[in-house]
Chains A and B, each alone.
Chain A
Amino acid sequence: MLKVMHLAANSTTSNSQWEDLTQLPAPNTVQWDNIKTQLDLVLLAVETLTGIGSEAMLSAATHLNLESKVPDRVALWRLRQSNPIRKGQGGRKKLDVEEARSLVLIICYLAKQHQELIRRAVGLLEQMAQDNREPHQAALLGDYIDAFCNVYQERMEEDEQISTDLLTRLALKLLVDLLFYSASGGHRRLWLALIDRSAK
């Protein structure tokens, strides 16, 4: 796995990034639900930290030549709706490997675009941890945590409801993850994390 990461860490264009991902193992069906959830949650973190909406995601898809997979808002919504813990029954519940790859590339593209902000947020988080203060006392983090929790509770199933504390931890973990996804090899990191996590 490490060798694979090394080999393709240099990819810069979206095409080669796509090829990177196709060379990595694809998840098996059993763990697919986990991956769908995870992708949706990472996107949720990007959304709530940066305040971007589906417009930015769609333009990222265009920039990455992924229009065929993610052509419009409805398509994007359907992809995210594949997350099994989402509310609502009307959406499409399937996500194929290519669509998962597309979402990975879009996430990493957005993370890279907002790397400065992510970096600042992580720096603040470290500072707060060192000072033994609650993260939400820092405005940037507080806003993010609030937004994340709100949107999460708004979109996810009632029976998946978890405590604010747990949600805060989830939000901050996803923030840290986003930092690493924002690097040039981030798409590989995200994909491998999805696979490995789902295999557990």
Chain B
Amino acid sequence: MPTLNSVIRRYTPPTCTLEILAQSSPLSQWMGRTVLKQLSFELRFDDPRIPEERRVPIRGDRDQLEALCDAVTSYVQEILQQSSENFWINFSGNEDSSKVPQDSELTDFQQPSSPTQTFQSFSSLTPGTKIHLEPGKYLTHNLFLGSLANQVSGPVIQLSLLQLFDLATALDEYSADVMALPSLNKTSPIRRLPAWTPVAAVLVLSVGLLPITLQYANNTRQKQPSTAKKTTSADEQVALAPSLDFSTPQPGLTPPDNLSSLPPLGSTQPLPTDSLPQKPLTAPNSSLPSTLPPVSQLPPQDTSTIPQGTIPTLNSSQQNPTSATGNPQISIQPNIKQNSTGSISQNEIGLPKKRDLLPNLSSTTGSLSPNISPVPSSIPTLPQNYKPFDPRQLEEKTNSSGTVASSKQPSSELSPTSSTSSAVADSDSLVTRLRGESPNTSSTKAPTDSTLFDTPQIAEARDLLKDRWQPPAGLTQTLEYSLMVGVDGTIERIFPLNKPAREYVDSTGMPDIGKPFVSANRYGKNLRIRVILSPNGKVQTLPETD
């Protein structure tokens, strides 16, 4: 699956071709229609009367396309509303003195032998002209290109009635097809998304990331060296999580109050200081590092974000009914995950700005009052999560962030001054404090019996197996199975996933193939359940995603 979809729509009425180029947004799946961002278009008029070299495409961005849409639609409507008398007054070729100069100019355009004239009037007409249409001679219509004009097209294109009709049709179809996102780095007020879409997007993203985090936690717990590779990939994906934090505060996308759906991420994200890896950071999470790949393989940020940034997410989303009931198998998730990389790359562009802001903060820490207004703008997630702290802690926080910036850019003239050495200690203590504040550190959060992914079926499977699972004497390893459960809830297949699982398959208490196991799936889907039976009697059931 491509990470970035370069969607091309092409509308081809007989006399023109309209092509839409854009990236598909992950929101598309939620809106039920294509949502595009960074949209551009190309319009060609296929008119045999115009010499080949002048049939150049008109190119523009989304705003220009919208303007063109509006201009054409309203012009067509004007024509339709005219009485036949007025209509013919406009188009009869021998009247209307006010239009004569324009008309003669236009006929010049139609003559390929006068390129100099074309360019002259191009320069004289372009400034200030907005996209609009006017009736021309002999049933033609003059499309004033305004900002869309280029040297070859000239400022005006003469359209026949049929061309106008085809253009209107193409634009109509485009309007019906495409809902365009305002591009992220613009402050354009045009918004066509309902207000709930950012919330939905955030929810989808968080739900989408859950399987990864659970898989990671699970792998960690299993301590299986063979899964180390898997863990690494999970880590890479987990590293996406921080991007949530950066992308949501975008003014165009998310109202600030929606941020509350993400607090745990935000609470840790501003921290990923480069100085952390030098610290014995992993000490509090002694259960984790055993399966972590060598730190050197990971970007420094990951070590700090994995334990805190991801696992708390589980908990925060757990309180959310939507994600709790969401079927983790819905096919949307992988897409969201993938597509989110697109937004990251965009957001990364914005990162240096944030970094630039931080030294400012550290330089003013001395005068920071409890009411620190600049902080929210630079670190958007700070205010919510740090309310319980006193100003001093904020100060420490900004200090430590300042250290990040300076350590990343040693040549920066904004030297960290005296805070460098103390900031390291500060950040460490802050980390410790944060960790203490969050009840969901990895050690306590490692997969418990019931998980966020619990669908009724998963829970039923767990309950049933808990009743039946009697660890045979002498069993030292966990048994792991992958069960295929049919729509009606019967077991369809049992895959033992390790050797002891094969040997002990008969003593697990699992029903035979074809026997009812759990209730029917309410989404009408087959289900795959991972079952992990421990020698100590513990039973885990998890949904498997492909």
Given contacts A126-B162, A169-B88, contact A183 B172 (CB under 8 A): yes
CB distance from B20 to the nearest CB of A (A): 15
Give chain B interface residues in 91-126, CB to chain A under 8 Å: 91, 93
Contacts of A79 in B (CB 8 A): none
Contacts of A10 in B (CB 8 A): 173, 176-177
CB distance from B78 to the nearest CB of A (A): 9
Inter-chain residue pair count (beta carbon < 8 A): 100
Chain A, interface size: which category? Answer: 35 or more
Which single member of B79, B140, B162, B177 contacts A119 (CB below 8 Å)? B162
B73 at the A interface (CB under 8 A):
yes
CB distance from B86 to the nearest CB of A (A): 9
Which single member of A5, A173, A190, A192 contacts B87 (CB below 8 Å)? A173
Cβ proximity bits B441-466 to A, threshold 8 Å, 1 near / 0 not: 00000000000000000000000000
B162 touches A6 (CB 8 A): no
A179 touches B84 (CB 8 A): no
Contacts of A196 in B (CB 8 A): 77, 81
B160 touches A176 (CB 8 A): no
A156 at the B interface (CB under 8 A):
no
Cβ proximity bits A119-134 to B, threshold 8 Å, 1 near / 0 not: 1001101100110100
B168 at the A interface (CB under 8 A):
yes
Contacts of B161 in A (CB 8 A): 122, 125-126, 176, 179
Which single member of A2, A123, A183, A190 contacts B70 (CB below 8 Å)? A2
Q: A196 CA to B77 CA in the complex, in Å?
A: 9
Q: A166 CA to B83 CA in the complex, in Å?
A: 11
A184 touches B93 (CB 8 A): no
Which single member of B73, B93, B169 contacts A2 (CB below 8 Å)? B73
Give chain A interface residues in 105-124, CB to chain B under 8 Å: 119, 122-123
B412 at the A interface (CB under 8 A):
no
Contacts of A85 in B (CB 8 A): none
B504 at the A interface (CB under 8 A):
no
Contacts of A169 in B (CB 8 A): 84-85, 87-88
15 residue pairs of the A-B complex, CB under 8 angstroms, read: A1-B74, A2-B70, A2-B77, A6-B175, A6-B176, A9-B176, A125-B139, A132-B93, A169-B88, A172-B88, A176-B79, A180-B168, A185-B176, A189-B80, A193-B80
Residues on B close to A: CB < 8 A? 14, 69-70, 73-74, 76-77, 79-85, 87-88, 91, 93, 138-140, 160-162, 165, 168-169, 172-173, 175-177
* Known contacts A2-B70, A180-B165; 10 further A-B pairs (Cβ under 8 A): A2-B74, A119-B162, A172-B84, A176-B161, A177-B79, A179-B161, A180-B76, A183-B165, A192-B77, A197-B81
